[in-house]
Amino acid sequence: MIVRILGEGQFQVAEDVAPKLTALDAELDAAVHKSDDAAFRAALGAAVRLVRESGTAVPADTFVTADFILPFSDATIDEVRKLLADGAIGGDSVGLP
Amino acid sequence: MSVMKRVSLIFRAKANKALDRMEDPRETLDYSYQQQVEMLTRVRRGVADVATSRKRVELQMNSLQKEVDRRDNQARDALSKGREDLARAALQNKAGLQGQLNDLQGQYANLQEQEEKLTVASQRLQSRVDAFRTRKETIKATYTAAEAQTRINEAFSGISEEMGDVGLAIQRAEDKTAQMQARAGAIDELLASGALEDHVGGQQDAIQAELDKLGAGNEVESELARMKGELEASAPRQIEGNPNGDSSANGSEATRAAEQPQAGDGS
């Protein structure tokens, strides 16, 4: 599967990492809902490390979309909320009209 | 739904929406490429802006460091003159300034990180854009319209995600730079007006004035001693020559005037 870490690009990650990543994703989601800063940072940090360490960077000439996108490694809960609120990624930032 | 999946769907939805609007798939490629080149310009400008901001903070840190050193010297100066109270006040000011400096150092590290990240993002986008340009020409030259559609969609969606990522990174860097600039502006004003001193302790002027007075006092004392020495060395002639302490021109007249009555008295 392909995982993007915002600010760091895409990684090809083996399928057997998926359960671990999914578990961390659930923790991340719970932390955002509870506004639990410490849990959020722990889950995000663990997920980012997992992808960096188990994945390999997708080459520049391979154009694929990611199955999962992780926030910036130093993102805050507020930033993630903004990102999840639809329309937070302005048309301009995707380079589209 | 989970965070990571939702974010990926948001990115994908944006790309799909744009694709749906394109009538001629091949034009999509050219249009996208044009957007990519613009994005490259934006990200490079972003890197330059962060660098400018970082340099400004660097200058401020130097100014603050100088102020910290100055307070330190003041404290030593005061102690050597036996004024522990002044030394304490100077060190209190120093501590306040040091706090500001530490804070700036943290911000500086943050900006440096943003700059590095954005530089890497800019390089990554550059190689992606180069690859896209090649892909674009290949698709246009090789594939039938039906085949092209799929490949165009892939390339377009893939690069759109990259652009969305870089766009967010630029936005982030811009936000942090703006915050930093607001702070930097405030500190610049404080440094320029000298209000930082008051802001930090409110006593700096008093300390320096007191130290200056002590310093000036010492100079006055030593100059007085020197003058006394000179006066004593030339005392007899000067007392004779200028008993009224008048200026030298008047003094010689006074001397003559003094001599005349003496002569008169003597006669």
Q: pLDDT tens digits for A55-82?
A: 999 999 999 999 999 999 999 999 898 8
Find chain A residues with C-beta within 8 A of B17's C-beta: 96
pLDDT of residue B244: 53
Of A3, A13, A72, A20, nearest to A44 (Cα)? A72
- Ramachandran region, residue B245 (left: φ > 0; alpha: ψ -120 to 50; beta: rest): left
Please say whether the beta carbons of A25 and A46 come within 8 A: no
Q: What is the DSSP letter of A70?
A: E
Of the candidate ranges A74-88, B3-17, B136-150, B189-203, the one whose mean pLDDT is the lowest: B189-203
Question: Beta partners for A3?
Answer: A11, A68
The shortest C-alpha distance from A14 to chain B (Å) reads: 16
Distance CA A3, CA B13 (A): 17
Q: Which residues on A lie below 8 Å from B12 (Cβ)?
A: 65
pLDDT cut 90: percent of chain B above it: 24
Sequence letter at residue B232: E
Q: What is the structure's pLDDT at B175?
A: 86
Parallel/antiparallel/unpaired status of strands A9-12 and A68-70: unpaired
Contacts of A6 in chain B (CB under 8 A): 7, 165, 168-169
CA-nearest residue of chain B to A32?
B3
> CA–CA distance from B224 to each of B81, B179, B221 (Å)?
19, 56, 5
User: For tokens 């674009």, what's the residue?
Assistant: B136
Chain B: residue whose CA lies nearest to A97: B18
Closest CB to B3: pick one of A65, A80, A89: A80
Task: Give pLDDT tens digits for B147-161.
Answer: 888 888 889 999 999
Is 60 exceeded by the pLDDT of residue B37? yes
H or E element that contains A57: strand A56-57
Residue type, A49: R
* Residue B49, both tokens: 């802006």
Q: How many CB atoms lie within 10 A of CB B140?
A: 14
Nearest CA in chain A to B123: A60
Nearest residue in chain A measured CA to CA from B134: A61
- Chains A and B form CB pairs within 8 A to the count of 136
pLDDT band (50, 70, 90) for residue A97: very low
Confidence of residue B121 (pLDDT cuts 50, 70, 90): very high
pLDDT tens digits, A14-59: 999 999 999 999 999 999 999 999 999 999 999 999 999 999 999 9
Cβ <8 Å between B160 and A32: no
Q: Is B3 in contact with A25 (Cβ distance < 8 A)?
A: yes
Per the CB < 8 A criterion, the answer to whether A97 and A91 are in contact is: yes
Across the beta sheet with A9-12, what order do the strands follow?
A56-57, A9-12, A2-5, A68-70
Looking at the predicted structure, is the pLDDT value of residue B198 above 50? no
* C-alpha distance from B207 to closest chain A C-alpha (Å): 44
pTM score of the predicted model: 0.73
User: In this prediction, does ipTM exceed 0.85?
Assistant: yes
pLDDT of B265 above 50: no
Instruction: Tell me which residue in B39, B131, B161 faces A4 most closely, judged by beta carbons.
Output: B161
